[in-house]
Amino acid sequence: MPPVPEHCGARREQHGDPKRQHGTKGFIDRRRTTPARTSGGRGRRALTPRQPDLRKIVSGFAWAAVTVTIFAGWFVVTRFGVTRELRVWDITALRFGFGTLILLPVLLGRTGRLPKGAWTEGLLFAALWGAPFVLLVAMGLQLTSAAQASSVTPTMMPVFSGAIAWLALRERPGRDRLAGYAAIIAGLVGLTVGASLSGASPSPAGFACLLLASAMWALYTLRFRRSGLAPIQAAALICFWSAVLFLPAYLAFGLARLGSAPIQEVVVQTVYQGILMSAVAIVTFNRAVSLLGSGAATAIVALVPVMASVMAIPILGEIPTPIEGVAIAVIVIGVTLAARPPRAGAPA
């Protein structure tokens, strides 16, 4: 049996003698600095709540504002391009051609080694959120408006995602999410009615393209969460596979019309599609979420239709009708409800 430390024996034998308690000074000091534990939490030392970092919050909102502007501007800039000289094929080629050049170091660099199976996973991602997705959204923008497209594709994504998770994964959504989904669908009906009353008949093909793109986005989101890839790695793989599969057909079948478009328009589309959307938006979005929390992602999606509608007024001359404005507001409320975290004990 190992010998008992001297200071422990001194404490037992001379508990009341202060002159011989020097050996227990460390033990007493530790007890004084440890909050007493009592039933119900009484006697515990109150913890000082951490004060929010104002600089962190301001920085987070700044990153979120940049992200919303880029996302919303993409709908406006893309519609501007496809309703003038450029075609949907040109927009897609610029998006993934220049995006691949910018993000290629992510795939080839030593610091960002891809996990096993990443290239195969990236091919699936490209089929869901790559060239086919951009083509569908661009065709939808050509047949509808920037406000309608931005109110359909990003906001219907959580609806499709929730429906797929419910049917395939047995993850039943809670009441708040169901109410949010219903509000989003009601808002979309309002957009259709508003377009009809304004004299411009809604385009079923345009809405079909946007809804299909939204469903593909939802499938990508559910798959990406289980992939183990970083967002920048997924973006690089999507650009790479989309460029490899789309650009040869784009050149072989003579789909390019870049030469007939003004050079300023080609430059704007190149910067926006190939740089801002392929790389910058991913960085700003992740920074906003890391600084403000996961709820920031939903807030960003909810603000896209509003920002796109405002930007489309001076750039495209597209002014939403009062009914369309109310419908967009209902959609924003629905997105907010659909992303509200579930209450304790309630289904997600």
CA–CA separation, 6 and 10 (whole Å): 6
| Mean pLDDT value of segment 185-192 | 91
pLDDT greater than 60 at residue 345? no
Q: Give the distance, in angstroms, between the CA of residue 286 and the centroid of all CA atoms in the same chain.
A: 8
Lowest mean pLDDT among 34-38, 157-161, 209-213, 271-275: 34-38
CA–CA separation, 74 and 170 (whole Å): 35
pLDDT greater than 50 at residue 4? no
Q: How many domains does the chain have?
A: 1
Residue 4 main-chain phi, psi, to 5 deg: -75, 135
Structural domain contains residue 43 = no
> pLDDT averaged over the chain?
83
pLDDT greater than 80 at residue 122? yes
pLDDT greater than 50 at residue 291? yes
> Over pLDDT 90: what percentage of the chain?
55
How far apart, in Å, are the Cα atoms of 56 and each of 152, 191, 235, 290, 295? 32, 38, 26, 10, 16
Structural domain contains residue 42 = no
pLDDT greater than 60 at residue 344? no
**Whole-angstrom Cα Rg for the chain:** 28
Structural domain contains residue 302 = yes
pLDDT greater than 70 at residue 12? no
Q: Which domain covers residue 205, as residue numbers?
A: 54-338
Lowest mean pLDDT among 188-202, 244-258, 304-318: 188-202
pLDDT greater than 90 at residue 165? no
Per-residue pLDDT, 226: 85
CA–CA separation, 303 and 332 (whole Å): 7
Per-residue pLDDT, 185: 93
| Mean pLDDT value of segment 234-258 | 95
Which residue is listed with tokens 């080839």?
108
pLDDT greater than 90 at residue 277? yes
Structural domain contains residue 36 = no
Per-residue pLDDT, 30: 46
Residues 237 and 118: beta-carbon distance below 8 Å: yes
pLDDT band, residue 13 (cuts 50/70/90): very low
Per-residue pLDDT, 298: 73
Structural domain contains residue 213 = yes
Structural domain contains residue 46 = no
Structural domain contains residue 33 = no
Q: Is 160 helix (H, G, I), strand (E, B) or coil?
A: helix
- Helix ranges restricted to H, 170-262: 175-197, 204-224, 231-252
| Mean pLDDT value of segment 305-328 | 93
Structural domain contains residue 307 = yes
Greater pLDDT, 34 or 94: 94
